[in-house]
Amino acid sequence: MKILISNDDGVQSPGIEALVKVLCREHEVIVAAPASQQSAKAHAITVGKPIYIDEYKPLMDRYGIKAYSIGGTPADSVKLYLEGVLDNNETLFPDLVISGINDGSNLGTDLIYSGTVGAAKEGFIHNIRAIAVSLSYRPIMTFDEAAAELAKKLPVILGMEREENEYLLNINFPVKLAENYQWLWAYQGIRNYENAYIPKTDPDGRTYYIVEGDIIDDGNSPVSDVVLCNQGNVTVTPIRLKVADHKFLSDKAGKAL
């Protein structure tokens, strides 16, 4: 397959290299990722400002692949590669977009803010199968171990019969795989952050804030991504792009209020 890899931690991140290292053995791998850290950018794209693109030599030299460092958001990186670099060259069009491996989980409410998920969504918008992959905070398992585990499961994931035009997948690896771990389908749970904005003072005496909140995972379903991943499983959650409430609209669409 042709696999486009992106993320939100930056093209230099160990999560990207771990994926490249294992996937380039059997697939044609291309990297298009932000030039710098772009966490929590969600699906933002850059408008009205130049977006620079450079070849990223470290990955190209080590693995013999095409790799691009892009001066924009995660979604910019995928969108610019598909719409700009390819220039309608269908022979180079990827079969799969993988965004990750993110440094830190994307569970529950994180999906709203995640640039990792945003990059995967951008691939999905272009009718490409897409996966967002994350590894929990302060993990015991390594990026290389997570990448190897994903590579082993990839034929199963891609072989599933599903409405592939309806959803992409969000995959989370735990801090450490449980002895009897499983890959489990999981609901999107709820994740909150306590004291998320920490006030600090600069040398001029001005107050500013840093986002450093502690994670709170209380009150989740036992079959949510939060609970199952915290138990040492790999969780898989399908994500739909349509956010309108179609159930509510089923007998109201087109009717006056």
pLDDT value of residue 162: 59
Residues linked to residue 32 through DSSP beta bridges, in sequence order: 68
Predicted TM-score (pTM) above 0.85: yes
What are 198-230's pLDDT values in tens digits?
Answer: 899 999 999 999 888 788 888 899 999 999 999
pLDDT at 163 over 80: no
Contacts of 237 (CB under 8 A, 6+ apart): 111, 169, 170, 171, 172, 185, 186, 187, 188, 225
Residues linked to residue 207 through DSSP beta bridges, in sequence order: 201
**Domain contains 141:** yes
**Domain contains 58:** yes
**Domain contains 6:** yes
SS3 25: coil
Mean pLDDT, residues 239-248: 89
- How much of the chain, in percent, has pLDDT values that exceed 70? 98
Instruction: Pick the closest to residue 78 from 99, 50, 101 (CA basis).
Output: 99
For residue 256, give Cα distances in angstroms to 13, 96, 249, 250: 51, 42, 12, 14
Q: What rounded mean pLDDT belongs to the chain?
A: 93
Structure tokens at 215: 């994670």
Place of tokens 């290389």: 144
Mean pLDDT, residues 144-157: 96
Split into its structural domains, the chain has a count of 1
**Domain contains 212:** no
**Domain contains 250:** no
pLDDT at 89 over 80: no
Residues linked to residue 215 through DSSP beta bridges, in sequence order: 193
**Domain contains 180:** yes
For residue 90, what are the domain limits?
2-190+221-243
Query: Confidence class of residue 91 from pLDDT cuts 50, 70 and 90?
Result: confident
**C-beta of residue 104 within 8 angstroms of C-beta of residue 232:** no
CATH code for the domain in which residue 89 is found? 3.40.1210.10
Alpha helix (H) ranges present in 105-244?
A: 110-113, 115-125, 143-159, 225-230
**Domain contains 249:** no
pLDDT value of residue 165: 63
**Domain contains 200:** no
